[in-house]
Amino acid sequence: MAKRRNRGGGFLRGALYGLIVSVVIFLGLTVAFPLIEPAPMASVANPVQTAPQAFDVGPGNPDDSGVTMGANTDSTPNVGESANLSVGDAVDQPVVATESAAVPDIGDGSGSVEVTPEETETTPPVAVIAQPDEVAPVEAAPALPDAASGEAFDVFSVPFTRDPDIPMMAIIFEDTLEASLQQLFNADIPLTFAVSGTVQDPQVSRNYRETGFEVLTLLPENVPIDTDLNLVVSEYILNVPASIGLIDNSSNGIMFEGGATQILIQTAAVNGMGTIAFAGAGDINARNLSRFFGNPFGSVNRVIDGVGENAAIKSALDSATLTAQTNGSVIVYARTRDVTIQALIEWMASPFAERVQIVPVSQIMRP
C-alpha cells in the first residue's frame, strides 16, 4: 500500500514541476520578444484629380489607294491613272462628346453620395460610297439604233438565251479574208469574229455585228510594248467599232509580259470592254488582273485548225467538247479558211455537237 501512495505523489510533483517550467519559459520569451505596437494609420489626403486627355478625332486625310504592279506578275495590280476610282468626299469620323471625368466630392461621410453617370453622345459615321469614274463607252455603230449607251461589253453583246443544263462552247473565228463566209451565215450558229485592230475600214466590224455576230478586236503580232501601249491599243479599238473586247494574238502576243498585260487590261476597262487570252500564254496573270478590275475575261482553250485537215479539225472539236463537259465551258479559236468552215458545218451534225450549246463568247466571259 505504501508503494502505491509514493507512485501517486510522484505524478503530482511532475505535473507541478511542468507547470512551473512552462511559466518560466513563457516569461523568458516575453522578455526576449516584447510586443510591437501597431503603426498608426496614415491619413489619406485629398485624391489628385486628373482629367483624361482629350483626343481630337478629325476627318482624316485618306490617301489614294493605289496598288503598284510592274513586270512581276506576282505583284498586286496598280489601278493607275487610266482606271482610277473616285473616292468622293472623305468619310466623316465619329464625333464623341464626353463630359469631364472629375473625381466626385465624397464629403465628410455624413451624407449620402449621389453618383451621376457620365452621358456620352456618339454620332455614328456617315458612310460615303465611292463612285467609279465614268467609263468612256465605245461609240455605237450608227446601224445599231437599238443599242443603248453604256459599257461596250453590254451594249454590243448579242442577246442570247442559254440552257444552264448544257455545257457552253464559244467559237471565235479570225477573219483572214481567205474564204466566203456565206456557209457560216446560213448555218445560223452564234459565232464570234475577231477583226484585226489594224483594219482601217470600221464597216467590217459593223457588218458582222449587224448580221448578229459578236465582234472582238484582235491585237496584231509583235505589238510594241516599249512605247505608249495604251495609246496604241486605243487606236486599235477605234478601228473596230461594236467590239465587246480585246483578244491577244495567237502567236507573238503581248500577254507574256506582266506590265504590258496590266496596261492592256486597264485600257480595256476604261473602254468598257473585256479581254481574251490564250491558255499557256499569260492567261493566268490576265485572269487575275481582270478579276481585280472586275472586267469580263475569257481564255481560249484550243486552236482547232492548227493542222488544217478536215478530220483533225473535227477531232479537235470533239476534244473541246469533252473539256466543256468537264469545266462547264470552253472557248475554241479558228481561222476563216474553207477547210475549217466545211469541217465545222459537218461537225455540227455529229453526236458530239449535241453535248454542248454553241454560245456567243460573251456568255462565257461574264464575271
Global pTM? 0.60
Measured on CA atoms in the order 182, 185, 186, 189, is the torsion positive or negative? positive
Architecture of domain 152-365: Alpha-Beta Barrel (3.20)
Per-residue pLDDT of the chain (367 residues), as tens digits, is 444 444 455 677 777 777 887 777 877 766 666 555 544 444 444 444 444 444 343 444 444 444 334 334 444 444 344 334 343 444 444 444 444 444 444 444 444 444 444 444 444 444 443 443 443 444 443 444 344 467 999 999 999 999 999 999 999 999 888 888 888 888 889 999 999 999 888 899 999 999 999 999 999 988 887 778 889 999 999 999 999 999 999 888 888 887 899 999 999 999 999 999 999 888 999 999 999 999 999 999 999 987 678 999 999 999 999 999 999 999 999 999 999 999 999 999 999 999 999 999 999 999 7
What's the confidence (pLDDT) of residue 200?
A: 81
Give the domain ranges of the chain: 152-365
Q: How far apart are CA 280 and CA 273, in angstroms?
A: 22
